Each structure stands twice: as structure tokens, then as C-alpha cells.
A = this chain, B = another copy of it.
């Protein structure tokens, strides 16, 4: 893989790329260039000269190339939360009048559920229904306009069949908004082939785009005209710099941009996506599987694995003192994360990890479990 393209912590194994990917060296250089050259010396002329204006669609196009989305169908803008709001609102407005229900997982990634709650408060005709993840696509009522679903369960890492579930929803007359935050960069995706119509995702996990990197929005071309961005800001206008008095949406996914994009953060993301494009997604996904198999083999069942065979980039393990164990592992040189109440997660980012890393990581887990000195320790601090 392309390990040397990253700054990695010395003496530690970073299995936390599913939370915040490490810094590609090219991303650091890109931020430095955007700040110290394009901003400091190019000043406002850089909107044209350094192609800042077209960055949302340009970086979107590169992300589209990673996930099998046609040109013009992906835009980089705002955060996952804001993008869920925009697409869910747009899908509801475009749905038949007798379909007013958004179906979400019982235990969805929290911000997705929070945002749908807020949308329903604003637009009282929107109703929310909830179902367990494994029944989200099994009994789709005639009132359901939209199903909001993550491909990957953020706790267990379980992966769902995007193509089959999208087809099931469409047969029942519903659309699906896919949250690909825990997928992109670790799972091979071809949105066109899978029939995906709507998706959003994150730039700072397996894409390694930097802390709080802008998120992406995908809209299938046949829906461009039908979907209206409720946050109709000037960057989504067909001619933002004509200063027309009325809003006129851009003809493609650009209409899902809103305000002026954060250029410095976007510069880091673009370099990270350029790097990801050097490794075909099929090969990256195969490497994830190789890393996970090597880790589990070396672990030898020392911790019970919660992740099924069909899974994304991370593995989840149960331990009754998971927070204390996570802290002890970090002290021993292995960085993973904790999710309440009793789960430890390890992410197997494909671009910078190699098999010896994960074999050594499994060894650290076994050594720490054997030591037992950490048990019962008090631990505080914010979850990351």
C-alpha cells in the first residue's frame, strides 16, 4: 500500500482511521499551499486563479470517481448532518403526497436521527417511523417516502447489501438515502451499478481528509431536476456571481451546495482524495479484509468479536471493562476507540496499514489482557 504517503505516530499502531484518518503528507502540503500561497499571496483573485470556486464540484467529481458516481452527481459541501437535512427534505418534497414517512433505524448513528427529528419539527407533515436495522427493508409500508440507512453499522461494523436493499425499497415505492460515512475508502462501491439514488458521507474517516473535512452529497442524475435543496444558498445557484434576485438552481448536484465553502479544509480533503484514487477501491477493500483476517488470526479469540462476516472497515469487540481496556491499550501502543457501554472498535484503514502492524496489534491486545494490572482503574474523559 502507500504507507509512506502518511504521517503516522511513532511507536504506536493507529487502528482509529474509522474515526479520524491520519494526515496524508500531500494533504499537509496542500493546506500549507492553500493558506500561505493561495490566500496569503493570491488573495481574493485565488477564487479564480487557484480554482477555489470550482472546488466543491471538482473534489466532488474525484469522490464520484472513487465510488462509481457519474460526473456532476457528487458535490462537496457542509457537514454530514447538514447534508442529511438537505437530501431528506428534498426527497420528501419530491415524493407522492400520500408518502410522508421517513423510516430510520431504531439505533441509527445518532446525528442522522437527530436531524430527521428536526426536519419533522419544521415540516409538520413529515412523520418519522423507526425499525430495527435488520427489518428496515423487509416490510416497507405505502406511506414511506424515504428510508435513511447506513451501509455500515457504526457499532458492530456489519455491512448491508446496498444494491439489494435499494432495489427492495424502490419496488415498494420508497427511496433510500444512504449514509456512506463508514463505507467510503474501506468498502468497494459502485453507486451507479448499485442503483443508488441518494447518498451522503464523510470526508475525515477512511478518506483521511482532515478533522471536520467537508462532507459529500450524491444525487443520481435522473433526480437532478426533481430535487430542490431547501437551503438554497448562493453556491447552489446556477450563476452565483450574476447576483440574480431570484434563486435558480444549478442543473446538477451543485444545487446541493449552500454557502461559501471552507477552502483550507477543502484543500486537505482534495489531496487526500487524490491519494485514495491511486489505489483502486477493489484493491483497498481486499486489503481491509486481509488485515482483518490477519488480526483475528493473531488474536486467537482472546476477545469476542461482535462483527459479522459481512462487514466494513472496522471490527468491534466486547469487554466488560472496555473503557479501561482501551486506555490500557493506548498506553501499550495500540490506538482504538470505545463506544458505550462495552465495545472496543479497531479500524483497518487500507492505505497505511500493513499486516505486521495488525499482527503486532493483536499481540498487544493479548499482552494487555494477560497483564490485568489495568482492571478496575477509573477512567474519565470525552469519547472520541
Contacts and interface: CB of A to CB of B under 8 A. Distances in A.
A197 B106 CA distance: 37
A258 B81 contact: yes
Contact of A262 (B32, B214, B232, B259): B214
A371 interface: no
A260 B84 CA distance: 13
Q: Interface residue tally of chain A, by bracket?
A: 35 or more
Which interface residue of A43, A233, A263 has the most chain B CB atoms within 10 A?
A43
A52 B89 CA distance: 30
A47 B382 contact: yes
A82 B78 CA distance: 9
Interface in A80-117: 80-82, 85, 89, 93, 107, 110-111, 113-115, 117
A163 interface: no
A215 interface: yes
Contact of A7 (B22, B40, B107): B40
A3 interface: no
A16 B45 CA distance: 10
Interface stretch (A57-65, A187-195, A318-326, A333-341): A333-341
B121 A122 contact: no
A35 B118 contact: no
A204 interface: yes
Interface of A: 7, 9, 14, 16, 19-20, 22-23, 27-28, 31-32, 34-36, 38-41, 43-48, 52-53, 78-82, 85, 89, 93, 107, 110-111, 113-115, 117-119, 121-123, 204, 210-215, 228-235, 237, 241-247, 258-266, 268, 335, 337, 339-340, 381-384
